[in-house]
Amino acid sequence: GQNIDQPTEMTATEGAIVQINCTYQTSGFNGLFWYQQHAGEAPTFLSYNVLDGLEEKGRFSSFLSRSKGYSYLLLKELQMKDSASYLCAPLPGGSYIPTFGRGTSLIVHP
Amino acid sequence: GAVVSQHPSRVICKSGTSVKIECRSLDFQATTMFWYRQFPKQSLMLMATSNEGSKATYEQGVEKDKFLINHASLTLSTLTVTSAHPEDSSFYICSARTGDGSPLHFGNGTRLTVT
């Protein structure tokens, strides 16, 4: 089966940096996605890591360690609009269908 | 690219009626689409995988006779909630991708309220 662990909620200040951690256990592994979901809206794709290391994309970066079953999403220069839920979604082997955890609700305050 | 359109965005229906939700891939062909359901403050739960030209694959615990899925073309999948009940009230989201290892692109979701 699949098991995904993320903090339920985090708060941060506008302009700061925040790191959202995710640990996972899957049957096989074909990469890991991060999605952003604003309240009442559908998720939007942020990043995809398949190899170990850091992938940087603007203010957002994502890191993966396959041996540790660990990933994190790093958000820099936080803006109020970054207040959302962030979903870690590993891609199990075989099915190629990502599994979603409950996500981390990030609250950015002034 | 990779835009998924879902309609309607919001629907209110009476208990016992049926509701159809459409999901379209606008700029790519999708042999496979995915239907998710999300209750407030809960994770996205995969309901079924919609396969073009063949029967859908339902996840354990999802009633295939209640949630009818039709994937008639490479760009359209529909989900029909039959004989809806208040407990079916939820946020239904479809998604599609361009290939096995590609990210899922989601429609805007449908907020279903059954009264």
B38-80 confidence digits (pLDDT tens) = 998 888 999 999 988 888 999 999 999 999 999 988 899 999 9
Dihedral sign, CA of A99, B2, A20, A7?
A: negative
Q: What is the pLDDT of residue A2?
A: 65
Test A97 with B46 for CB contact under 8 angstroms: yes
Tokens of B50: 């919609």
Q: Which among B34, B101, B106 is the nearest to A42, CB-wise?
A: B106
- Where in B1-115 does DSSP place strands (E)? 4-7, 10-13, 19-25, 32-38, 45-51, 57-58, 67-73, 76-81, 90-96, 105-106, 110-114
- Å between A16 CA and nearest CA of chain B: 26
Whether the per-residue pLDDT at A4 is higher than 90: the answer is: yes
Interface contact flag, B44 A40, Cβ < 8 Å = no
Is 60 exceeded by the pLDDT of residue A44? yes
pLDDT bracket for residue A98 (50, 70, 90): confident
Residue A101's pLDDT is 85
State the pLDDT at residue B91: 96
Q: Which residue of A has its CA nearest to B10?
A: A40
